[in-house]
Amino acid sequence: MTGVRVRSAVFVVLMVAALGGLSGFAAAAEPRTVTVAVHDLEPFVVTNGTVKSGFTIELLEAVAKQKGWTLDFVNVENVAAQLKAVTEGRVDAAATAISITADRAKNYDFSQPILNSGLQIAVPTSQLERKAPGIADFLGLLFSKTMLIWLAAGVILSVIPAHIVWFSERGHGHAMVSRSYFPGIFQALGWSLGMLAGQPDSMPRHTLTRGLAVLWAFVGLIFVAYYTATLTTNLTVERFSAQINAPSDLVGKRVCTVADTNSSSYLRSIGVQANAVAAIDDCYATLKRGELDAAVFDSPVLRYFVAHEGAGFAQIVGTIFDPEDYGVAFPNGSDLRKQFDEGLLSIREDGTFSLIKQKWFGFEEPDPGDEPG
């Protein structure tokens, strides 16, 4: 009787364990819904009716596919509203083009960088002045680093045929070079440089060096053609000059940026009094009306605008400054952050990340894996 009771007890325990395992398996198999706060910001988040696209959206969808998640996007007004939604627990994460800063990192658990960038300046094209190339441009190009490198390369390369010419021609009865190494090698080098420029002072008499002369003349044609083309292009194309080219030029100017972003903080730190608006679209509208000297914001956002809607009335000036990383913000202690980083690494390794980046930023932005609102 005791044996029957023991077997019954074991059977009950096994059944309970089996049912628990099945329920656990069902729970594991069920996709996890991850709620993400976003706000419209081309080219990161683009809303067309009920359809969302953009760099950040496609990146999140690629990671979600890797991890078996279902994404639920919640639209808010700006970065501040996104982070507030995370703080209040209304969403699992926030993502668009959120800069990772020391202050934010105290309150949120950020993913690995999804993009590296920085700030840049856009100005109305009406402020750009056409400037015809002058003598200063000619001299600057003539003594530019690129041209000096090409000339140095020409001299160095000419040393090789110069030695061949001296060695072959020195024993000829009417040799164009001296039999002794000095000054014979200098005479041969002069011939080699002259041939490279298409103006040799004499022609070799030995069969070997005549063949070399033909080959070197062909190299000279390529060298002169490149040099001439570069010189002509730079001296015939009109240049544009702007009053604003760097952050230091913004002081005392009419500047627009977005409130509660890295750009507004940076401008305050350098003493620029900017009009901080709710959305970058407000800066675009003011820029188009000609009521603005410059807009300062994230480089990829401004570049995308200038290449699309802003074509013809806005232009990027200067270089990227104040480098920054973009990341996905999670609540502190969230288990999703590690899972997201694993998925991000996976799509980098299989090439998906590169395809998404090329689609939306084909022009420039470096990849934090290869390589910064």
The predicted pLDDT at position 28 comes to 44
Tokens encoding 35: 């709620």
pLDDT (tens digit per residue) in 72-104: 999 999 999 999 999 999 999 999 999 999 999
The predicted pLDDT at position 37 comes to 97
pLDDT (tens digit per residue) in 211-239: 888 888 888 888 778 777 776 776 665 45
The predicted pLDDT at position 171 comes to 72
SS3 content of the chain, % helix, strand, coil (to 5): 50, 20, 30
Mean pLDDT of the region 316-341:
95
In the CATH scheme, what is the code of domain 135-237?
Answer: 1.10.287.70
In the CATH scheme, what is the code of domain 124-132+242-323?
Answer: 3.40.190.10
CA–CA dist 109, 112 (Å, integer): 10
The predicted pLDDT at position 29 comes to 45
pLDDT surpassing 70 at residue 55: yes
Q: Which amino acid is at 223?
A: F
% of the chain at pLDDT higher than 70: 81
The predicted pLDDT at position 25 comes to 39
CA–CA dist 183, 163 (Å, integer): 12
Between 219 and 129, the higher pLDDT residue: 219
The predicted pLDDT at position 21 comes to 46
DSSP H/E element including 262: helix 262-269
Most confident of 6-10, 118-122, 362-366: 118-122
pTM for this predicted structure? 0.62
DSSP-assigned letter for residue 53: E
What phi and psi, each to the nearest 5 degrees, are found at residue 365?
A: -60, 130
CA-closest candidate to residue 209, choices 182, 173, 172: 172
The predicted pLDDT at position 186 comes to 86
Domain borders along the chain are 2-116+326-360, 124-132+242-323, 135-237
- CA-derived radius of gyration, the chain: 33
CA-closest candidate to residue 330, choices 345, 321, 340, 320: 340
Q: Which pLDDT band, with edges at 50, 70 and 90, does 149 fall under?
A: confident
The predicted pLDDT at position 236 comes to 60
147 burial (CB, 10 Å; 0-12 / 13-18 / 19+) is middle
Are 212 and 164 in contact, with CB atoms under 8 Å apart?
A: yes
What phi and psi, each to the nearest 5 degrees, are found at residue 291?
A: -100, 15
CA-closest candidate to residue 233, choices 317, 147, 149: 147
Alpha helices in 30-144 (DSSP H): 55-67, 79-87, 102-107, 135-142
Class of domain 2-116+326-360: alpha beta
Q: Which amino acid is at 269?
A: S
CA–CA dist 366, 373 (Å, integer): 18
CA-closest candidate to residue 262, choices 38, 91, 83: 83
Q: In the chain, count of helices (H) and strands (E)?
A: 13, 13
Are 16 and 4 in contact, with CB atoms under 8 Å apart?
A: no
Q: What is the sign of the dihedral through the CA atoms of 174, 179, 182 and 184?
A: positive
The three-state secondary structure class of 131 is strand
* CB-based contacts of 366, cutoff 8 Å, min separation 6: 116, 372
CA–CA dist 269, 264 (Å, integer): 9
pLDDT (tens digit per residue) in 195-212: 877 777 677 777 787 788
CA-closest candidate to residue 255, choices 281, 278, 287: 287
pLDDT surpassing 50 at residue 27: no
Tokens encoding 31: 């996709």
> Matching CATH topology for 2-116+326-360 and 124-132+242-323?
yes
